[in-house]
């Protein structure tokens, strides 16, 4: 008699004897009739014992069919009431609108305590309101259901503040829903006086700002204690938001009793301070600043920052800077913590710098010079150095200005020519040469050599004769290493450990050219304890354009044995499993790494991966990858030994609770050894 000819009662008996879940699955997919029997059995036998977990899973996955099956199996008779009260919360959190509606329709919608403390009281203890929580997650469909079934409304101030939350996160769909369907005003203010436009501007959400403006948001509505949305955006450095606001008519001109928006631009957080200042200034009527004396002082700073020579000269001739307005070269009512000289130096306006110095606005000359050097303005730096070089040389910080000039060769040489000494040791033992070598700018190194200064760092110990120099140059790249060679650096002066350290450092940074530089010159990695980790790191594929794969090939061409044993007699395969990189192991196996090798405890990589905790999906992938290798190399295996290995790995996986891995191993064992 065929299996399908058996009566259902006997088929149920067979189903009950199946031990593992995957066996039930295999039995159930045979045909539609058996699938129905297995499903009925599972629902009837499982729900009384794990109904809470089943419902939790249904809500998480949004599985409407499974929910219908559970209702047929009378699941509500088994579940804990507290569990049912939590289900709508979970559905709202995950945006499962259809499941939420099914829960409500089937009476699982108790958003209140049994004592009748009022609708939604239970949820308010957690999230204030249902709508606010759903809206903050961006679940518009859920919000519609809550309103349709009378679970919540937009009457409360808390729910109305959803517009600010959506604006801050840049949720355009939620903003449209709240403005167009719900009918909220784009200009409504929170208890703190904030509007949605200000919230979007503060977060740099340019598209949200545009959408709000298109729906009637007022760009000139000031926040209490915060100013305009433009001011808020400028302070945070959101230049695209500022452009949008300016295009929609934000007022940037002086308003009595209000701070100028350009103040915020000149105090911008981040690296686009000058661009922000120029953008707002280009939309201002600067002549309006000249109508009040205190604004004239500010105008001088703005004009200096923008490089407006003519306006700077006019203001200087009008004597708009009395002595008591200045403290160390910075305006008492300063703009962005800088005076006009600092702004002109930072922007590289050498003609303005000359004008300001001509009229005696010098004050704290250190800061303008530092700003000129850091921003790569050698002409401004030369003006300041020529004028104050004697004062500079008497200071304790003059030599350290070389650190500020590392990004500009001309500024660096300018300081050397004005007497800066590069041989000092600063910052708790830091030496300038370390920064020069690590900069990757050979021109800086050549500038030192031309002036008779050595490139080598001071020898720190007898056993480290040049190791620091070599390591710093390694981080500066091949051009810097070649510069060292051209200027007589002897690699033999570095110890064996220093060479090994430099090569390992290049591997850690995935610097293929530097690793090749050493390997092509006959240097080898030979520290067995560390080598497997280096090989595994070289095989790491962080992204599609990563050079790691090429780096591994460079090592192998350099004579490295991919099966070198390190600590605990483990090879690079153990390191790759510990590193959690899915593609890494596959690359190693393709290039000859042998997964049959055992460590000092007699374990193979297969057992190591199968018994790892906590349970991670990557370990299952590692086991699968190793099994695929065994499948490809089947003819090379001792089937008896492999069977023992698989059994041991499966037992270890079950002992450590890795049931998915045990299932993978069991399937492999059944398929391959059944055919044997």
Q: Tell me the pLDDT tens digit for each residue of 151-161.
A: 777 777 777 78
335 located within any domain: no
Residues whose CB falls within 8 Å of the CB of residue 378, separated by 6 or more in sequence, listed in order: 372, 408, 410, 411, 414
Predicted confidence (pLDDT) per residue in 422-470, tens digit: 987 666 667 889 899 999 999 999 999 999 998 888 765 443 445 788 9
- Cα of 553 vs its chain's centroid, Å: 30
pLDDT of residue 98: 86
**Residue 542 scores a pLDDT above 70:** no
Cα separation, 186 vs 178, whole angstroms: 9
**Domain stop point among 562, 584, 602:** 602
Residue 345 CA: distances (Å) to CA of 15, 263, 301, 342, 353: 83, 18, 12, 5, 7
Distance CA 5, CA 148 (A): 51
What's the rounded mean pLDDT across residues 284-301?
72
Give the pLDDT mean for 283-308: 77
Q: What is the percent of the chain with per-residue pLDDT over 90, rounded to a whole number?
A: 24
Q: What is the pLDDT of residue 427?
A: 60
Whether residue 44 is contained in a domain is answered as: no
Lowest mean pLDDT among 48-62, 186-200, 228-242: 48-62
Bridge pairing between strands 326-327 and 330-331: antiparallel
- Give residue for tokens 């190591």: 608
pLDDT band for 554, please (50, 70, 90 cuts). Answer: confident
Res 57 pLDDT > 60:
yes
pTM: 0.68
Position of tokens 């407006």? 308
356-373 pLDDT per residue, tens: 998 887 666 788 999 999
pLDDT bin (cut points 50, 70, 90) of residue 270 is: low
Q: How far apart are CA 569 and CA 567, in angstroms?
A: 5
Lowest mean pLDDT among 177-191, 237-251, 283-297, 623-637: 283-297
Let me know if residue 290 belongs to a domain: no
Q: For residues 198 and 235, give the distance between their C-alpha atoms in angstroms, rounded to a whole number.
A: 12
Q: What is the pLDDT of residues 100-112, one digit of tens each?
A: 888 788 776 655 4
Residues 641 and 651 reside in one and the same domain? yes
Here the tokens at position 616 are 């991670």
| Last residue of one domain, picked from the residues 585, 602, 619 | 602
Q: Which residue has the higher pLDDT, 323 or 434?
A: 434
Average confidence (pLDDT) over 549-570: 82
Q: What is residue 129's predicted lDDT score, i.e. its pLDDT?
A: 75
pLDDT, residue 450, reads 94
Region 305-321 average pLDDT: 84
Residues 640 and 582 grouped into a single domain? no
Residues, the chain: 676
Asked if residue 636 belongs to a domain, the reply is: yes
Q: Which residues 6+ apart lie within 8 Å of 131 measured at CB? A: 143, 146, 147, 152, 153, 154, 159, 162
Whether the Cβ atoms of residue 292 and residue 280 lie closer than 8 Å to each other: no
pLDDT score for 138: 84
In a domain, 184, yes or no: no
Whole-angstrom distance, CA of residue 597 vs CA of residue 479 = 41
A 10 A CB-CB count for 396 gives 7
Name the strand (E) or helix (H) holding 70.
helix 64-72
DSSP assignment letter at 494: S
3-state secondary structure of 335: strand
Q: How far apart are CA 645 and CA 659, in angstroms?
A: 17
User: What letter does residue 258 receive in the DSSP assignment?
Assistant: S
- Enumerate residues 6+ apart whose C-beta is below 8 A from 478: 513, 514, 517
Whose CA is closest to 331, among 295, 306, 307, 355? Answer: 295
pLDDT at residue 447 in the model: 95
Does the residue 617 lie in any domain?
Answer: yes
Q: Does the pLDDT value for residue 42 go beyond 90?
A: no
The pLDDT of residue 460: 56
Least confident window among 75-84, 192-201, 597-606: 75-84
pLDDT at 330: 40
Q: Determine the Cα–Cα distance for residues 280 and 247; give it in Å rounded to an integer.
A: 11
Residue 328 pLDDT class (50, 70, 90 cuts): very low
Residue with tokens 């140059």: 473
Task: Please report, in angstroms and rounded to a whole number, the separation of the first and last CA atoms in the chain.
Answer: 29
The pLDDT assigned to 190 comes to: 83
Mean predicted confidence (pLDDT) in 524-539: 76
- Residues 469-495 have a mean pLDDT of 88
331 vs 663 pLDDT, higher one: 663
Q: Which of 561, 580, 602 is the last residue of a domain?
A: 602
Q: Residue 26: which pLDDT band, with cuts at 50, 70 and 90?
A: low
If you average pLDDT over every residue of the chain, what do you get?
80
Helix, strand, coil abundance in the chain, percent, nearest 5: 65, 0, 35
Number of domain units in the chain: 2
Residue 106 has which token pair? 């089937």
User: Does residue 235 fall inside a structural domain?
Assistant: no
Task: Look up the domain containing 531 and give its range.
Answer: 524-602
Same domain for 618 and 588, yes or no, is no
Question: What pLDDT is stored for residue 17 in this prediction?
Answer: 66
Span 294-309, average pLDDT: 81
Cβ atoms of 275 and 239 closer than 8 Å: yes
**Does residue 670 share a domain with residue 608?**
yes
Backbone angles phi, psi at 646, to 5 degrees: -65, -40
Domain containing 590 — which CATH number?
Answer: 1.25.40.20
Our CA dihedral for 385, 386, 388, 393, rounded to 10 degrees, sits at: 70
Q: Is residue 650 part of a domain?
A: yes
* pLDDT at site 337: 66
| Whole-number pLDDT of residue 535 | 80
Question: Is 332 or 263 the better-scoring residue by pLDDT?
Answer: 263
Cα 607 to Cα 143, 317, 544, 598, 600, distances in angstroms = 50, 85, 30, 10, 13
Q: Is 472 helix (H, G, I), strand (E, B) or coil?
A: helix
Residues 586 and 612 in one domain: no
Q: What is the mean pLDDT of residues 220-231?
A: 83
Q: What is the pLDDT of residues 122-167, one digit of tens each?
A: 444 344 577 787 888 888 888 888 888 777 777 777 777 888 889 9
Residue with token string 């349970």: 615
Q: Which of the pair, 336 or 82, is modelled with greater confidence?
A: 82
Range of weakest confidence among 106-120, 269-283, 554-568: 106-120
Residue 599 is encoded by which pair of tokens? 């460590």
Nearest CA to 322 among 313, 331, 334?
331
Task: Collect all residues with Cβ–Cβ distance below 8 Å to 10 and sequence separation of at least 6.
Answer: none
pLDDT for 40: 65
Over range 314-341, report the average pLDDT.
60
Q: Supply the DSSP string of 540-596, one letter for each residue.
A: ---STT-SHHHHHHHHHHTT--TT---GGG--HHHHHHHTT-HHHHHHHHHTT--TT
Q: Which residues pair with 425 in a beta bridge?
A: 431
Asked if pLDDT for residue 417 goes beyond 90, the answer is yes
Q: Does residue 39 have a cis bond before it (omega within 30 degrees)?
A: no
Lowest-confidence pick of 55-69, 124-138, 337-351: 124-138
Query: Confidence band (pLDDT; 50, 70, 90) for 116?
Result: very low
Window from 24-28, 164-168, 332-336 with minimum mean pLDDT: 332-336
Distance CA 423, CA 595 (A): 53
Rounded distance, CA 372 to CA 169, Å? 38
- Are 580 and 615 within one domain? no
Mean pLDDT of 602-627: 84
Higher-pLDDT residue of 272, 645: 645
On the question of pLDDT at 51 being above 70, the answer is no
Question: What is the per-residue pLDDT for 321?
Answer: 61
CA-to-CA distance for 304 and 287, rounded, in angstroms? 15
pLDDT for 334 equals: 47
Contact yes or no for 504/474 (Cβ under 8 A): no
């Amino acid at each position: 008699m065929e299996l399908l000819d058996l009566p259902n009662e006997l088929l149920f008996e067979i189903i009950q004897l199946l031990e593992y879940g995957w066996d039930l699955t295999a039995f159930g997919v045979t045909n539609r009739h058996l699938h129905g029997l297995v499903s009925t059995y599972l629902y009837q036998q499982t729900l009384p014992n794990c109904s809470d977990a089943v419902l939790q899973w249904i809500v998480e996955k949004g599985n409407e069919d499974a929910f219908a099956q559970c209702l047929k199996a009378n699941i509500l008779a088994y579940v804990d009431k507290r569990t049912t009260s939590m289900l709508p919360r979970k559905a709202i959190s995950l945006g499962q609108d259809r499941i939420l509606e099914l829960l409500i329709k089937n009476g699982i919608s108790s958003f209140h305590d049994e004592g009748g403390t009022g609708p939604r009281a239970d949820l308010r203890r957690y999230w204030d309101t249902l709508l606010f929580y759903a809206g903050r997650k961006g679940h518009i469909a859920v919000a519609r259901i809550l309103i349709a079934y009378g679970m919540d409304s937009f009457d409360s101030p808390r729910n109305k503040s959803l517009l600010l939350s959506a604006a801050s996160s840049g949720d355009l769909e939620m903003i449209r829903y709240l403005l167009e369907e719900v009918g909220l005003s784009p200009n409504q203010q929170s208890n703190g006086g904030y509007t949605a436009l200000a919230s979007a501007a503060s977060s740099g959400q340019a598209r949200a700002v545009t959408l709000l403006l298109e729906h009637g948001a007022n760009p000139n509505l000031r926040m209490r204690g915060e100013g305009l949305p433009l001011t808020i955006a400028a302070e945070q450095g959101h230049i695209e938001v500022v452009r949008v606001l300016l295009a929609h008519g934000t007022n940037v001109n002086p308003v009595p009793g209000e701070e100028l928006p350009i103040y915020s631009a000149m105090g911008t957080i981040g690296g686009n301070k000058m661009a922000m200042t120029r953008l707002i200034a280009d939309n201002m009527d600067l002549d309006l600043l000249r109508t009040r004396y205190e604004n004239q002082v500010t105008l001088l700073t703005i004009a200096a920052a923008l490089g407006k020579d003519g306006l700077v000269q006019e203001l200087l001739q009008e004597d708009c800077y009395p002595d008591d307005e200045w403290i160390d070269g910075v305006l008492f009512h300063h703009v962005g913590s800088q005076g006009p000289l600092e702004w002109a130096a930072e922007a590289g306006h050498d003609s303005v710098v000359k004008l300001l110095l001509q009229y005696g606005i010098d004050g704290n000359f250190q800061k303008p010079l530092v700003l000129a050097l850091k921003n790569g303005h050698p002409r401004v730096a030369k003006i300041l150095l020529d004028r104050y070089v004697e004062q500079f040389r008497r200071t304790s910080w003059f030599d350290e200005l070389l650190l500020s000039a590392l990004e500009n060769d001309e500024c660096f040489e300018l300081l050397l020519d004005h007497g800066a000494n590069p041989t000092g040791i600063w910052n708790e033992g830091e030496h300038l040469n370390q920064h020069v070598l690590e900069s990757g700018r050979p021109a800086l190194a050549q500038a030192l050599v031309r002036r008779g200064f050595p490139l080598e760092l001071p020898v720190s110990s007898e056993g480290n004769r040049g190791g620091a120099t070599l390591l710093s140059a390694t981080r500066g790249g091949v051009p810097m290493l070649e510069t060292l060679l051209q200027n007589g650096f002897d690699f033999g002066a570095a110890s064996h450990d220093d060479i090994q350290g430099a090569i390992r450092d290049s591997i850690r940074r995935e610097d293929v050219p530097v690793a090749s530089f050493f390997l092509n010159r006959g240097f080898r990695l030979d520290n067995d304890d560390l080598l497997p980790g280096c090989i595994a790191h070289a095989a790491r594929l962080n992204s599609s354009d990563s050079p790691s794969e090429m780096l591994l090939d460079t090592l192998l061409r350099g004579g490295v044995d991919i099966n070198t044993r390190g600590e605990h007699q483990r090879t690079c395969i153990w390191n790759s499993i510990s590193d959690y990189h899915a593609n890494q192991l596959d690359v190693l196996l393709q290039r000859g790494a042998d997964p049959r090798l055992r460590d000092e405890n007699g374990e193979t990589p297969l057992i190591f991966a199968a018994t790892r905790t906590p349970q991670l999906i990557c370990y299952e992938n590692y086991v699968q990858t190793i099994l695929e290798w065994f499948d490809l190399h089947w003819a090379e295996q001792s089937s008896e030994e492999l069977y023992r290995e698989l059994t041991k790995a499966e037992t270890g996986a079950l002992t450590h609770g890795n049931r998915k891995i045990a299932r993978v191993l069991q399937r492999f064992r059944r398929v391959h050894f059944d055919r044997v």
